[in-house]
Amino acid sequence: MTDTIATAVDIGITPLTGYTGAEVTGVDATAPQSAETIAALRAALLKYKVIFLRDQRLDYASQVAFAQRFGELTLGHPLYGGPEGKPLLREMDSKGEGTRANHWHTDLTYLERPPAFAFLHNVVCPPVGGDTIWANTAVGYANLPAELRDLADRLRIVHSNDADFTDDTYDGDSRTNYLMHQFEAEHPAVRVHEETGERSLLLGGFARRVHGFSPQAGRDLIRVLHEYATKPEFTARWKWRADDLVIWDNQATLHYAVYDYHGQHRRGERVTVGGPVPVGVDGRPGVVLRGDTSAFAAGLTR
């Protein structure tokens, strides 16, 4: 089945599952794209939350140029920036050791302005394993029981870089270095998407506690919401090949990088589009509690 979003331009958009993800064909991200093509891709991204493009032989310049069509780019990382000469890039390189992302998370939710969209280009993938799973948190929210949805609309969650994600996915040295700088932000548990007006759950491994609740009660609330958000029915799983480009809406997804490749080399390169401050159902925005990462989302597009 090809989606009707693509009828205005010569590309194909094929849904992967009933709720989440679509594969895009007919787009060469290394070449200049018309405004009509970018609009079709953006519409698919907002609808399906994550889109997949095969055979995209991107270098740093072409990846940045393509991603910039979706908005101003951030630095590669709020603490480390990017590699020398590539300030907007985040390298995700693992040979089975060190930093991994095998924990459900939304990128950088401990910032005041988590990224809006992420563009991950796969450079090296293991022969077996290393898939990534995305969960559609808008569908997760819509399928909450009415009483739980009403409660979630009023909750505020504190996100920190000292959290389950860093406990589980960083080795001792990198975790120590990472936590030399403490960052926390309080965000609504349910955010209203700036473009679509859709409501989605804002959760993940950086979610630490719930404002106004005891530590144990807060953990229980986060766990219950998380279980609804990551039901298999609401997910899509992608088996990577070299030169795949995956784009996801970081405002309405969680993702999990499966660690089952047993020391094999896995490497991706990510750039991100700056996002707005999350705003809740009541109109209240997220707020910074600790740390200053304003430079990360300052619209650097070099």
Average pLDDT per consecutive 10 residues, the chain (302 residues; last block may be shorter): 56 97 97 96 98 98 98 91 93 68 93 97 94 98 98 98 65 57 94 98 97 97 98 98 98 96 90 97 97 75 44
Tell whether pTM > 0.75. Answer: yes
Catalytic residue among 42, 100, 103, 105: 105
* Residues 4-297, CATH architecture: 4-Layer Sandwich (3.60)
Whether the Cβ atoms of residue 285 and residue 278 lie closer than 8 Å to each other: yes
Do the bridges between strand 50-53 and strand 22-25 make them parallel or antiparallel, or are there none, so unpaired? parallel
> Quick one: which of 264, 216, 196, 147 has its CA closest to 44?
196
Which one of 3, 107, 164, 249 is the catalytic residue? 107
Could you say which of 42, 191, 209, 255 is catalytic?
A: 255
Neighbours of 198 (CB within 10 A): 19
Residue 174 confidence (pLDDT): 55
Active site residue 211: no
> What pLDDT is stored for residue 181 in this prediction?
78
Domain ranges across the chain: 4-297
Active site residue 255: yes
Any catalytic annotation for residue 131? Answer: no
pLDDT, residue 93, reads 83
State the pLDDT at residue 301.
45
pLDDT score recorded for residue 169: 54
pLDDT at site 179:
60
Residues 121, 149, 159, 270: which is the catalytic one? 270
- Asked whether 167 and 276 are in contact (CB, 8 A), the reply is no
Between CA 191 and CA 277 the distance in angstroms is 10
Backbone angles phi, psi at 266, to 5 degrees: -140, 125
Q: What is the pLDDT of residue 220?
A: 98
Distances in Å between the alpha carbon of 100 and those of 56, 96, 122, 174?
Answer: 24, 8, 15, 11
Residue 12, SS3 per DSSP: strand
Residue 121 annotated among the catalytic residues of the structure: no
